[in-house]
């Protein structure tokens, strides 16, 4: 029997403030890359916008960020938007979100293989294994592992070791360096897939918000439907950019009050 590819779901967490063509490119590039390894079959993509509790400066309401992401992904046949993380009362650690989606995927898998059991109640031999979940991110995300108190060591271990990362590099960033700079990441380098974005496309949501504040065009950087939504709701103004100014980012506030498990000896 031919070795079947491992089904894979890609999860991207982030502000998506707003979602841009570059975010959607990440999925396309990651899918192509994972397929080219010969080992994986990408079966789904999830955009999981962070909750308002994240406290990042300039973050507009989750309801808007979700709506915009949905509009942007309307025409996609494999990437969807998930609201779970945004609906949680407090900011959720990335690993918690990953565990949630992994559990969901497993339940779904068990349900569907349950429907395809043979007469003895065994799962049909032709059914593929349970889809894996990996975190999809940009190279700048890898650098966040170096920020003091932003990540719990155990969480880095779980994200990189248990789940795995697909990191798409943009512009002049060098993700190999970020991996090398971290003992934990280096140990799991086989589970960290580095994808080179061959197009120097530094469309950042920050720049998009800046352009919108100044009344400049962002057409062809984000989908038309998202531009329309932004104008309809008058999002991204000087005021919106000042939101959460001076507030401590929630992960930092949270980590400060809860010493990481690794400190307990």
What is the contact surface with another protein in residues (CB under 8 A)? 21-22, 24-25, 28-29, 31-32, 75, 171, 198-204, 207, 210-211, 216-217, 219-221, 224
| Distance of alpha carbon 131 from alpha carbon 163, whole angstroms | 11
Structure tokens belonging to residue 231: 């104008």
Q: Nearer Cβ to another protein, position 186 or 237? A: 237
Min separation Cβ 241 and another protein, Å: 16
Q: Rounded to whole angstroms, how far apart are CA atoms 246 and 226?
A: 28
Nearer to another protein, 33 or 99 (CB): 33
In order, the DSSP letters of 205-253 are: HHHHHHHHHTT---BTTB-HHHHHHHHHHT-S-HHHHHTTTTPPPHHHH
Q: How far is the CB of 23 from another protein (least distance, A)?
A: 9
What order of strands is seen across the sheet that includes strand 79-81? 79-81, 40-49, 6-14, 132-138, 165-169, 192-196
Q: How far is the CB of 207 from another protein (least distance, A)?
A: 5
Q: How far is the CB of 93 from another protein (least distance, A)?
A: 29
Minimum Å gap between C-beta 108 and another protein is: 26
- CA 222 to CA 69: how far, in whole Å? 10
Nearer to another protein, 149 or 202 (CB): 202
Question: Which residues, 6+ apart, have CB-to-CB distance to 199 below 8 Å?
Answer: 25
Count how many residues are written for the chain.
265
Among residues 171 and 259, whose Cβ is nearest to another protein? 171
| Minimum CB–partner distance for residue 22 and another protein (Å) | 8
Nearer to another protein, 145 or 236 (CB): 236
CA angle (141 as vertex; 53, 245 as ends), nearest 5: 40
Report yes or no: 236 and 60 within 8 Å, Cβ to Cβ. Answer: yes
DSSP state for residue 189 in the 8-state scheme: G
**Residue closer to another protein (CB basis): 31 or 188:** 31
Q: Closest distance between another protein and the C-beta of residue 193, in Å?
A: 15
Structure tokens at 103: 């559990």
Choose between 105 and 222: whose C-beta lies nearer to another protein: 222
């Amino acid at each position: 029997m031919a070795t079947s590819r491992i089904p894979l779901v890609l999860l991207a967490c982030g502000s998506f403030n707003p979602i841009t063509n570059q975010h959607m490119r990440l999925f396309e590039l990651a899918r192509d890359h994972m397929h080219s390894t010969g080992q994986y079959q990408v079966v789904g993509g999830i955009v999981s916008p962070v909750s308002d509790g994240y406290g990042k400066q300039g973050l507009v309401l989750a309801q808007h960020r979700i709506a915009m992401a949905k509009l942007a992904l309307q025409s996609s046949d494999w990437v969807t938007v998930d609201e779970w993380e945004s609906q949680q009362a407090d900011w959720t650690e990335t690993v918690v979100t990953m565990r949630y989606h992994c559990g969901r995927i497993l339940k779904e898998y068990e349900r569907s293989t349950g429907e395809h059991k043979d007469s003895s109640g065994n799962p049909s031999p032709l059914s593929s294994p349970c889809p894996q979940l990996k975190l999809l991110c940009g190279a700048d995300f890898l650098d966040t592992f170096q920020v003091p108190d932003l990540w719990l060591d155990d969480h880095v271990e779980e994200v990189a070791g248990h789940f795995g990362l697909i990191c798409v590099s943009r512009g002049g960033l060098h993700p190999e360096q970020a991996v090398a700079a971290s003992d934990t990441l280096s140990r799991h380098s086989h589970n960290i897939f580095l994808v080179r974005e061959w197009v120097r496309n530094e469309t950042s949501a920050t720049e998009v918000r800046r352009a919108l504040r100044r009344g400049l065009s962002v057409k062809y950087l984000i989908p038309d439907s998202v531009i329309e939504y932004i104008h309809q709701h008058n999002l991204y103004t000087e005021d919106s950019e000042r939101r959460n100014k001076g507030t401590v980012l929630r992960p930092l506030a949270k980590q400060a009050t809860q010493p990481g498990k690794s400190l307990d000896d």
